[in-house]
């Protein structure tokens, strides 16, 4: 690449410590902090099995990404392999679809931020909170990109500390035989911290198997964007060493940050009493009467959503820049312009403007839960991208580029079809409820319409 080309690239400025901790915290999403409340209310303790099943599927999926990036780390993104092994038209479709996914991630995370801030400001309209929050993070993204890395670094520390603190608190209360009686929003909650909160009257499908299937989409949302770990590992000095290490640590992180946290929550209180629209992390400390700790945890989950929105704005902006450089240069040249700090400002303005869809959602009376709606839009578009990637992976396995002694996906002929099955069940589950039905239909319409455009009108 020529020097003048390098000068026109967005400046990253990420150090190794940024990449390593961001990769660890990348396994912790808003779907866990906020979405766990709804899934626990729907399926109770069997949520653990849901997270393990989807977690195994995501780990295998990440191994397929790792196998491709290990073979050719110069591609940096798993999306580029679709063009290489399926074709330019499929690559065009998947790259723009992934950009749209990132925009919907911005919308869902902005909705979550508004929900958390209302913990302190219940009388302030949600839409106003979302606009102010977006303005703040938008301003942060206009600065030098090293501020992004530093901000994400500290966000990551807070998220990791919160999960470990939750687990430590549960263990301390469990061995201390702690009991509580708390009045929250006019309702009295009584109970004691015990393993029996999980085991007594345990049922795999306490509210029916269809409820269990329906809850899978929120579990899936908690894991989406995890592919970012493989892509950040590909940006390091020795990707063929860091990619296997980063991906193979995923199962341990799932057990600690997801299974460990959920077991801790359900050990502390009866799962049947958790409100579906509240963060169970905040409710835990409210139930045991530590009001300041509840505010602290709310701050933690707020920073988690802020981190996710910050990184999504960053990623969507740079994806828009890359796509504008790669496709339709004559029509999208404006989005390739960089500021003096190396920021694609026009692309950032576009992503920020589209993120304002979040306050619009909160004002539509037909949408009962704006977060669920936005999360569903995110999940089903992610799944479409994931399906196309798995097809790309099979094509790679048939090509001459396949390295039998590389970073191989274990038992791919068995495990990859298992991933396809789980992803298909999750996608079907999106059609089972009103809040998720229309986003699922929208994803199908997008695939048919934009897929047709990509096939018949895009100049390969």
Ordered DSSP codes for 150-161 = HHHHHHHHHHHH
- 5 pLDDT more than 50: no
Confidence band of 460 (pLDDT split at 50, 70, 90) = very low
Nearest alpha-carbon partner for 8 in 404, 343, 386, 421: 343
What pLDDT does residue 2 have?
40
Q: What is the pLDDT of residue 3?
A: 39
Residues 106-121 have pLDDT tens digits of 898 898 888 889 888 8
> Quick one: tokens of 269?
């209180």
pLDDT of residue 196: 87
Q: What are 25-58's pLDDT values in tens digits?
A: 555 666 677 677 778 888 889 999 999 999 999 9
pLDDT band at 4 (very low <50, low <70, confident <90, very high): very low
User: Which residues are CB-neighbours of 235 under 8 A, at least 6 positions away?
Assistant: 12, 14, 19, 76
The confidence score (pLDDT) of residue 437 equals: 85
> Exposure pattern of 240-255 as b/e (b: 16+ CB <10 Å)?
eebbbebbeebeebbe
What band does 190 get if pLDDT is binned at 50, 70 and 90? confident
**Helix, strand or coil for residue 119?**
coil
Which residues are paired to 344 by β-bridges? none
> 377: part of which helix (H) or strand (E)?
helix 370-398
The answer on pLDDT for 11 being more than 70 is no
Asked if pLDDT for residue 303 goes beyond 70, the answer is yes
What was the pLDDT predicted at 57? 94
The mean predicted confidence, pLDDT, of the chain is 82
pLDDT at 328: 59
Crossing angle between the packed helical segments 16-25 and 145-175, to the nearest 10 degrees: 40
Average pLDDT of the residues in 252-266? 85
**What pLDDT, on the 0 to 100 scale, is given for residue 398?**
93
Rounded to an integer, the average pLDDT of 236-246 is 77
Residue 366's pLDDT is 66
**Alpha-carbon distances, residue 337 vs 317, 320, 330 (angstroms):** 12, 11, 13
Fold of 11-451: Amino acid/polyamine transporter I (1.20.1740)
In the prediction, which pLDDT does 337 show? 81
Residues facing residue 181 across a β-bridge? 190
Residue 130: pLDDT over 50: yes
Cα separation, 159 vs 258, in Å, equals: 12
Average pLDDT for residues 149-164, to the nearest whole number?
78
End-to-end CA distance of the chain: 23
The predicted pLDDT at position 20 comes to 56
Q: Annotate 151-187 with b (16+ C-beta within 10 A) or e (fewer).
A: bbbebbebbbebbebbbebbeebbeeebebebeeeee
pLDDT at 219 over 90: no
Is residue 14's pLDDT more than 60? Answer: no
**CA–CA dist 22, 28 (Å, integer):** 10
CB count in 10 Å sphere of residue 335:
22
State pLDDT tens for residues 18-33. 555 655 555 566 667 7
């Amino acid at each position: 690449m020529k020097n003048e080309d390098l000068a026109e690239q967005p400046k990253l400025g990420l150090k190794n410590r940024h990449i390593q901790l961001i990769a660890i915290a990348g396994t912790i999403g808003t779907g866990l902090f906020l979405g766990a409340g709804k899934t626990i209310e729907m399926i109770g303790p069997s949520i653990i099995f849901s997270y393990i099943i989807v977690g195994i599927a995501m780990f295998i999926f990440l191994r397929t990404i790792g196998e491709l990036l290990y073979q050719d780390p110069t591609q940096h993104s798993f999306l580029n392999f679709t063009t290489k092994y399926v074709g330019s038209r499929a690559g065009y479709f998947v790259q723009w679809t992934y950009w749209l996914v990132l925009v919907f991630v911005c919308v869902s995370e902005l909705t979550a931020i508004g929900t958390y801030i209302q913990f302190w400001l219940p009388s302030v309209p949600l839409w106003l909170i979302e606009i102010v929050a977006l303005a703040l993070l938008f301003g942060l993204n206009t600065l030098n990109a090293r501020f992004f890395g530093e901000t994400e670094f500290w966000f990551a520390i807070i998220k990791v500390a919160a999960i470990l603190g939750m687990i430590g608190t549960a263990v301390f209360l469990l061995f201390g035989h702690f009991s509580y009686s708390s009045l929250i929003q006019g309702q009295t909650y009584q109970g004691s911290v015990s393993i029996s909160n999980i085991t007594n009257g345990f049922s795999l499908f306490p509210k029916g198997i269809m409820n269990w299937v329906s809850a899978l989409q929120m579990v899936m949302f908690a894991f989406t964007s995890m592919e970012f770990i493989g892509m950040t590992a590909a940006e390091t000095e020795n990707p063929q060493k860091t990619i296997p290490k980063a991906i193979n640590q995923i199962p341990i992180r799932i057990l600690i940050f997801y299974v460990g946290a959920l077991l801790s929550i359900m050990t502390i209180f009866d799962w049947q009493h958790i409100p579906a629209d509240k963060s169970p992390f905040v409710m835990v400390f409210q139930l045991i009467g530590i009001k300041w700790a509840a505010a602290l945890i709310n701050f933690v989950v707020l920073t988690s959503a802020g981190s996710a929105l910050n990184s999504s704005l960053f990623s969507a902006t740079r994806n828009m820049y890359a796509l504008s450089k790669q496709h339709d240069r004559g029509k999208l040249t404006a989005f390739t312009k960089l500021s003096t700090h190396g920021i694609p400002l026009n692309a950032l303005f576009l992503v920020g403007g589209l993120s304002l869809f979040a306050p619009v959602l909160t004002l539509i009376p037909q949408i009962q839960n704006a977060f669920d709606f936005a999360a569903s839009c995110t999940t089903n578009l992610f799944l479409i991208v994931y399906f196309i990637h798995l097809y790309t992976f099979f094509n790679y396995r048939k090509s001459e580029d396949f390295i039998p002694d590389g970073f191989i996906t274990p038992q791919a002929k068995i495990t990859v079809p298992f991933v396809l099955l789980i992803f298909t069940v999750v996608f079907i589950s999106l059609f089972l409820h009103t809040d998720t039905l229309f986003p699922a239909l929208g994803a199908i319409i997008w695939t048919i319409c934009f897929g047709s455009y990509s096939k018949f009108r895009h100049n390969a």
